[in-house]
Amino acid sequence: MRSQRLDKWLWCARLVKTRTGAVRLVEAGKVRINSARASKPSRLVQPGDVVTATPAGRLFVARVLSTAARRGPASQARTLYEDLTPKAPPRPEPGLNGERQKGPRPTKRNRRRIDVLRGRA
């Protein structure tokens, strides 16, 4: 099989849970093939195509390596594509850039003392 419907490929590659979910994703305009928006779920994908999708608000970029006749286990699904998703930037450590460090919540007694210091008592 050289080409496959986009919705079926997304489902076989386990990028979405259901084929209906894949159709909704495509119709919502959240899938691109080779940087062109896919307007129909019946659009054919072939090996070498780059699919960009944003399921559940997460960015996913993959190069299609092959197609599948049916949906298989996750280990087989990972062989259908090459993950090209850029790595997320590292999160800054708490306390830097003026962020509040997480710690234990103040007790009622401590809260009263804080209020006195701030002049709200």
**Distance (Å, rounded) from C-alpha 14 to C-alpha 17?**
6
94 is a domain residue: no
114 is a domain residue: no
The phi, psi pair for 72, rounded to 5°, reads -120, -165
Q: State how many domains the chain has.
A: 1
Q: Is 0.85 topped by the overall pTM?
A: no
119 is a domain residue: no
Where in the sequence is the domain holding 78, given as residue range(s)? 4-83
- pLDDT tens per residue, range 29-81: 999 999 999 999 999 999 999 999 998 888 999 999 999 999 999 999 999 99
116 is a domain residue: no
90 is a domain residue: no
- Whether the per-residue pLDDT at 96 is higher than 70: the answer is no
Who contacts 98 (Cβ-Cβ below 8 Å, separation ≥6)? none
105 is a domain residue: no
